[in-house]
Amino acid sequence: MSILEYVRPEIRSMQAYQVAAVEEGFIKLDAMESPYAYVDEMQEELGKQLSQAPINLYPVPNGDGLAEDLRAAFDIPPNAGMILGNGSDELIDIVTKALSKEGATLMALEPSFVMYALSAKLHRMRYVGVSLNEDFTLDLAATLAAIEAEQPALIFIAYPNNPTGGRFERADVETIIKTAKGVVVVDEAYSAFSSDTFMDLAGQYDNLIVMRTLSKIGFAGLRVGYAAGAPILMDEMAKVVPPYNMNQLSIVAAKFALQYQPFIIENTERLKAERERVRTALKAYEQIEDFPSEANFITIRVPDSNLLFDTLKQNKILVKHLHNAHPLLANCVRLTIGRPEDNQAVLAVIEQLYGRT
Ligand SMILES: *Cc1c(COP(=O)(O)O)cnc(C)c1O
């Protein structure tokens, strides 16, 4: 008997999460990373602090003050409970694990972040996807009907949504939180680029968890995420958090990052301005359909997404091809917003393909 017979069949049928190997000289616009790294003197200062991190000791739960620094920096209500995760991917895993009673259902909107369905599978929850409208807005009637019919224990809503970029109507999400009996996670990975947040309500609804990350604001490599909600619920989540899930180096680096908030704010503002500039530029092309974005990426539909993806690649630009991810994403490509010159390189390829000659 092969050793593989011992592996869970649903895991055998999966593929490991694909992280593209990027060749030297490529412009990487596929994963919503910030293009802005620390300049020399900040690198040096961070290096000094990292050299003093107590890596011989296990990290303190809640990150040696990091949770309180995050609370202060990002307006997390004082009456909300918090947990920290090794990226918000780990928080998705933790919340799913805590709610994965036998036969329980996890619901997500589609298309949305792929980790939700994956997490359901890994924790043996029933998965129900509710389709968005064709323009990627939320179909409130269908969503409420699905909640009524399926009684999900857990609903994930990315706000703004990935990979579509738009933010759903606040009132619709609030209706979902009020209607659902189970937990609703509002995943605000892109909150820094968004005009709205549910963080102010964290702690006010027993069934609401607001989840965020430092990944999209310049620190994808640190793997730091945080979640806030009613203490009664977050205390249960805390039981599932692996001991020592955060590491001393990330804790030191994240605390350092929060001391230099102007760096974060300045880069966020630059990327938001670039997003608007790129979106305006895209409007000039009749063949391109662009969707509203409150994130650091823009998703577009073109006549032939293979052609656009391949041509960008020939020009050493890597973006995310969404064509096969979901039927509603036919011929769609997701462009992470980079530095002005990176975005200009994308627009030059678009002009070459879709410009009037
Ligand atoms: C990027 C992303 C995450 C994951 O963030 P990490 O903190 O890097 O794990 C979670 N949710 C959404 C919607 C994302 O786009």
What whole-number distance in Å separates Cα of residue 92 and Cα of residue 193?
21
Q: Which residue has the higher pLDDT, 60 or 194?
A: 194
- What's the gap in Å between 187 CA and the centre of ligand 1? 8
Indicate the range of 4-8, 22-26, 294-298 predicted with least confidence: 22-26
- Who lines ligand 1 at CB under 6 A? 32, 87-89, 113, 158, 162, 187, 189, 213, 215, 220, 225
pLDDT at 67: 96
86, 88, 186: residue to mutate for ligand 1 pocket, most atoms within 8 A of CB: 88
pLDDT category at 158 given cuts 50, 70, 90 is very high
74, 92, 213: residue to mutate for ligand 1 pocket, most atoms within 8 A of CB: 213
What whole-number distance in Å separates Cα of residue 326 and Cα of residue 59?
40
pLDDT category at 357 given cuts 50, 70, 90 is low
pLDDT at 62: 81
Closest atom of ligand 1 relative to the 90 alpha carbon: 9
Q: What is the mean pLDDT of residues 16-22?
A: 81
What whole-number distance in Å separates Cα of residue 111 and Cα of residue 123?
21
Share of the chain above pLDDT 90, in %: 94
> What mean pLDDT is reported for the chain?
96
Over 70: is that where the pLDDT of 98 sits?
yes
- What's the gap in Å between 136 CA and the centre of ligand 1? 19
What whole-number distance in Å separates Cα of residue 28 and Cα of residue 231?
40
Residue nearest to atom 14 of ligand 1 (CA): 189
Rounded to whole angstroms, what are the CA distances from 327 to 133, 134, 136, 213, 291?
12, 10, 12, 28, 16
What whole-number distance in Å separates Cα of residue 87 and Cα of residue 89?
5
- What's the gap in Å between 57 CA and the centre of ligand 1? 28
Closest atom of ligand 1 relative to the 213 alpha carbon: 7
Q: What is the pLDDT of residues 171-190, one digit of tens each?
A: 999 999 999 999 999 999 99
What whole-number distance in Å separates Cα of residue 188 and Cα of residue 159?
5
